[in-house]
Amino acid sequence: MEYRWRYADGVGADVPGPDLAFGDQTEAEDWLSANWPDLLDGGIDEVTLVHDGKPVYGPMGLHPPTAT
């Protein structure tokens, strides 16, 4: 019973990223909140939260919204 992040590029193709397991959703989300800029710099454009191999939510883009 673990949570993991699945990583993708700008066209939705899976890309490698940190292979970390979290005990609960809050722990996974806290880690992402602290590390999303590094993921973006590493070529990861979006993430999906997965629990025991099933998507919880996502894909969620890491790019900040642009002003109009």
**DSSP codes, 20-50:** --BSSHHHHHHHHHHHHHHHHHTT--EEEEE
Over the stretch 3-52, which tens digit does the pLDDT of each residue have? 999 999 999 999 999 999 999 999 999 999 999 999 999 999 999 999 99
pLDDT of residue 42: 95
Q: What is the pLDDT of residue 66?
A: 79
Judge whether residue 54 has pLDDT over 80: yes
Q: How far is it, in rounded angstroms, from Cα 12 to Cα 26?
A: 24
pLDDT for the residue 64 = 84
pLDDT at 28: 98
